[in-house]
Structure 1
Amino acid sequence: MKKLSKSNRILILIAALLIIPAYFTPLWQISLWAPQYPEGLNMKIWIDHLSGNVDQINGVNHYIGMNHIGDEMFPEFTFLIYVIGGLIALGILAFLIGKRWSLYAFFGLMTLFGIGVLVDMYRWGYEYGHTLDPKAAIKVEGMSYQPPLIGYKELLNFIAYSGPDTGSWILIGGVGLLIVAIIRDRFQKPVQAL
């Protein structure tokens, strides 16, 4: 089994350690702008809680019959800290093993995690935007209020934005380092085992 170069092993270690800021920075953000909110309303999604203008967003959304947003809406908050910890541990293990398969396995796990997060965010946004109270004060026939998964979308008189926040950009940078390690591994001469 091909051993990785020292520099590629260091790239794996840095990528694993770059996961740590996920505990201390917001991972996702959803923002809303409207004439009555020109400064915007912003909600940040962290590893275990929500922050930002959540109460104001709930107040606006109440009129169109959307569910109340709260930490309890996200069961992921109860286990995401362990998933992130597991990814860090597996990255460090891949660094210690130092074989080609460990690099590819860690990259595969990080990619699956990213895809899983996007699928979960889409599912949440779909349910949130389509489950409306029929007794809401404002009803627009055939209208749903699903926020965009990534990017901008017009929802009535609001412009909504959804996308990665600081923690996710750092994680994406870590995956980028793994891609660099994979490319370098493809073009490097085999390292002799000691």
Structure 2
Amino acid sequence: MVTAAPGEDRSPALALVNTRRLSAGGSVDDLAEPHGAAAWLRRHDLPATALRPADVARLSELRGAVRELLAALADDREPDPAAVTTVNAAARADAAAPQLVWRGGPLREWRSGRPGTVDAAVAALARDAIDVAGGDLGRLVRPCEAHGCVRFFFREHARRRWCSTTCGDRVRAARHQRLVVEQRGASAE
């Protein structure tokens, strides 16, 4: 199991983007097949009944659109309009409404009109992406600076540059190796 990037616990849309990543063994895609995609949804409290390949394609398309939004935020640029259209359409896939619940006091929760469906999961992910992009978390979105890493995270500490300690360790080890090689080259002259 890969370590979650900072912020994935607060934003399922950020976690969605990071379902495609690089590892020592190559490219990893947690949404590559229906069983894996359904397991990922369950882990993020977005249960969906039996997924079909078309459902996986919808999740993958949403992931690409959300990735474009996060990249645009990190690069301080306008996103591709198609990504915005995709996210907005996904947010409308399920009619959700705020509901009052009482747990030690009044709370507002969004409740799906079609709980347990792929539409509900896709809509919840898209609405979270909209909340991130249009809210305070949007300014914290950063891509990992480690060579070869494609994940995003919320940069809540000014010195943080990597999505995980693994990426940070990899960068520091590469920097150390470069210095050793440079020192050997300098002493050989």
Looking at CA atoms only, which structure, 1 or 2, has the larger radius of gyration?
A: 1
> Would you say same fold, with TM above 0.5?
no
Query: Which structure has the higher relative contact order (CA within 8 Å, separation 6+)?
Result: 1
- Relative to the length of structure 1, the TM-score reads 0.30
